Amino acid sequence: MSLVALTVKLPEFEGPLDLLLHLIKDSEMNIYDIPIVAITSQYLDYLHSLQQVQLEVAGDYFVMAATLMRIKSQWLLPQPEEPLLDEDVNSEDPRDELVAQLLTYQAYKEAAADLQNREQERKDYFSKAPSLLASAE
């Protein structure tokens, strides 16, 4: 049994990363320093507006909302002032994985737009059908 990736397309967004990227750009936020509280509330507000859409379609968006809530909860937990051991402490920013996903998605989205522009430019050219050369005997 093979797994097939499901592409979710809503009228406005192609998936949860597209929505998240839109919210970040629309709010003029720095993608490397996402204010999780603000972006989570904006994201959840959008999800509440999806209540008329089927739950299966909105499922991927709820997964992203859960990811945002997890990151938000990590920010709310008290952080130890001094780590006991360097190996035990995960000093990574919980947003790093999300930022990496957003940057990768943004790069693919820009590449797709570039390819689409090239396709449109190519439509302006006309090619001659190949012709057979008469064999000289």
Q: Considering the entire predicted model, what is its pTM?
A: 0.56
Rg (CA), the chain: 23
DSSP helix/strand/coil, 31: coil
104-131, pLDDT tens digit by residue? Answer: 989 998 999 999 999 888 888 877 777 7
Residue 98 CB: number of other CB atoms within 10 A? 21
Q: What is the pLDDT of residue 122?
A: 86
CA angle 108, 8, 116 (to 5 degrees): 35
Residue by residue, DSSP assigns 80-105 as PSS-S-TTT---S-TTHHHHHHHHHH
21-64, pLDDT tens digit by residue? Answer: 888 888 888 888 888 888 888 888 887 777 665 565 677 778 88
Classify the C-alpha dihedral 61-67-69-71 as positive or negative.
Answer: negative
* Greater model confidence, 51 or 85: 51
